Amino acid sequence: DSYNMTLSKERAQSVTSYLTGHGLASGRFTTKWYGETQPKYDNSTAEGRAKNRRVELAIVANEEMKEEAAQQTN
């Protein structure tokens, strides 16, 4: 579990580093990793384990963007 948690952390931080290295502000990111604690696929098969080696990215508007969108709809 510790080994997989380290791999998960390094994978997640690698993606964040790539994006911030290409001009995106680091303050716009919250980087999380879960190791084996939140599998999406069956870890009892090789295919499931391979699919669990993933990074998920969510783009979420900040409060300023939400307010701006609300004003534009009025």
Model confidence over 8-57: pLDDT tens digits?
A: 999 999 999 999 999 998 888 889 999 888 999 999 999 999 999 988 88
Q: What is the mean pLDDT of residues 2-10?
A: 93
Of the candidates 32, 31, 33, 29, the residue with the CA atom closest to the CA atom of residue 62: 29
Supply the pLDDT for residue 68. 95
Q: How confident is the model at residue 73 (pLDDT cuts 50, 70, 90)?
A: very high
Q: Measure the CA–CA gap between 8 and 66, rounded to whole angstroms.
A: 31
Cβ count within 10 A of residue 9 = 15
What is the extent of the structural domain holding 47?
2-73
Check residue 70 and give its pLDDT. Answer: 94
Virtual torsion, Cα 43, 40, 26, 72, nearest 10 deg: 170
Look at the chain and report how many structural domains it folds into: 1
Are residues 54 and 41 in contact, defined by beta-carbon separation less than 8 angstroms? no
Per-residue pLDDT at 27: 85
